Amino acid sequence: QSALTQPASVSGSPGQSITISCTGTSNDVGDYNLVSWYQQHPGKAPKLMVYEGTRRPSGVSNRFSGSKSANTASLTIFGLLPEDEADYYCCSHAGSSTWVFGGGTKLTVL
Amino acid sequence: EVQLVESGGGLVQPGGSLSLSCAVSGFTFSNYWMHWVRQSPGKGLVWVSRINSDGSSATYADSVKGRFTISRDNAKNTLFLQMNNLRAEDTAIYYCARAFAQCTGGSCLDSWGQGTLVTVSS
């Protein structure tokens, strides 16, 4: 149950697009299409943004898009807005009904 | 409105025990898998445990296996986490979260509580 690998930080200007990667192994990210992404603002509970790799819950902006290739999942945010500044976490099923999160990525909107 | 409210956090000495509760409302609790996730101060999210809808199956992170027990009372719409033999590294905000019904295998969490802080220190 080793944490998935995410960059510690990414940044972008308003209107730009950024991508956050999430690298696991063939036992988690690579073995299941069960990666989810969460947004967390300071002092707040996490919010589900993408699930099953590419799907968005109702109410989540279509500026948020998920993808996956082999052992790496990615979250792309198009048209950055100031309110997108937050921490982002990926999470994957890791077999035997256990889950593993990534270490988190701090997004700064310049 | 879906609500999850954790309680039971506090200061406990190493080796001690603590029991957390998560009272839910606004949905049919007995239909959903539930999870506990923790976050140490200034650190990332860590999955702790999961229980299925009728409480017959539970799984744990290796770091808490044998020390923590997840359970639920569907009649009282409440989720529990019994934590024994606590260590300093268990210090964290503990969140309860609901598994999203549309997510295969309960693999994503669509509703979260605000968390309860557990501090393990002498």
**Which of A47 and A33 is assigned the larger pLDDT?**
A47
pLDDT, residue B115, reads 97
Q: Which of B30, B91, B90, B32 is nearest to B65 (CA)?
A: B90
A45 CB within 8 Å of a chain B CB: yes
Question: Do B107 and A93 lie within an 8 Å CB cutoff?
Answer: yes
Question: Do B44 and A101 lie within an 8 Å CB cutoff?
Answer: yes
DSSP characters over B37-106: EEE-TTS-EEEEEEE-TTSS-EEE-TTTTTTEEEEEETTTTEEEEEE-S--GGG-EEEEEEEEPTTSGGG
Give chain B's mean pLDDT: 96
Q: Which of A51, A93, A104 sits opposite B45 (nearest CB)?
A: A104
Mean pLDDT within A54-73: 95
Question: Do A34 and B104 lie within an 8 Å CB cutoff?
Answer: yes
Contacts of B55 (CB under 8 A, 6+ apart): B71, B72, B74
Whole-angstrom distance, CA of residue A45 vs CA of residue A38: 10
Mean pLDDT within B68-97: 98
Mean pLDDT within A74-95: 96
In whole angstroms, how far apart are CA A92 and each of A85, B9, B48, B93, B114? 23, 27, 13, 21, 22
Under the banding of pLDDT at 50, 70 and 90, the label for residue A14 is very high
Mean pLDDT within B5-10: 98
Chain B interface, best mutation among A49, A92, A97, by max B CB count within 10 A: A97
Whole-angstrom distance, CA of residue A14 vs CA of residue A77: 11
Query: CA torsion angle for A8, A12, A18, A24 (degrees, to 10)?
Result: 0
pLDDT tens string B18-43: 999 999 999 999 999 999 999 999 99
Partners of residue B102 in chain A, C-beta under 8 Å: 51, 55, 57
Under the banding of pLDDT at 50, 70 and 90, the label for residue A85 is very high
Q: Is A49 helix (H, G, I), strand (E, B) or coil?
A: strand
Partners of residue B97 in chain A, C-beta under 8 Å: 46
